[in-house]
Amino acid sequence: MSERQDSPFDVKRNGEPIEDVGVRDSVDPHISYSVHYSEWDAAIAAGATLDELLRLEQYPIMFRAKLIAWHNYHRAIEMHAQDAVNRKSGKGHK
């Protein structure tokens, strides 16, 4: 088992790291993609222009890693927020 890297962000749900908290009725779609795709996806979500996308590799690797981490946390926060709404309204099935 590998040890978890420290995150540049501190995102928790009910006091627990968000990546350790499950979401009701979540399904793993078994989709994988390259780091290059992750960088572009995160940059687009952050509002990057086409010119910035073309120059993305000029940014330091740690900046790009933080950009991906921010985007992944942003998506996790949205998913957990919707899960909380579903639980509150009784839409959860478990």
In a domain? residue 50: no
Q: Give pLDDT, residue 2.
A: 45
In a domain? residue 81: yes
What is the average pLDDT across 56-84?
A: 93
In a domain? residue 36: no
User: Where residue 69 falls among pLDDT bands split at 50, 70, 90?
Assistant: very high
pLDDT above 60: residue 3: no
Run of H or E including 12:
strand 12-13
In a domain? residue 67: yes
Q: What's the number of domains the chain is made of?
A: 1
Question: Which are the contacts of 25, defined by CB distance < 8 A and separation ≥ 6?
Answer: 86, 92, 93, 94
pTM, full prediction: 0.77
pLDDT digit string, tens, across residues 25-41: 888 889 999 999 999 99
In a domain? residue 73: yes
In a domain? residue 74: yes
In a domain? residue 33: no
Q: Give pLDDT, residue 86.
A: 87
In a domain? residue 94: yes
Q: Give pLDDT, residue 33.
A: 93
CA-to-CA separations, 14 to 20, 42, 67, 72, 84, in angstroms, rounded: 11, 26, 25, 19, 11
Tell the burial category of 40 from Cβ atoms under 10 Å away from its Cβ (0-12, 13-18, 19+).
Answer: middle
Q: Look up the domain containing 90 and give its range.
A: 59-94
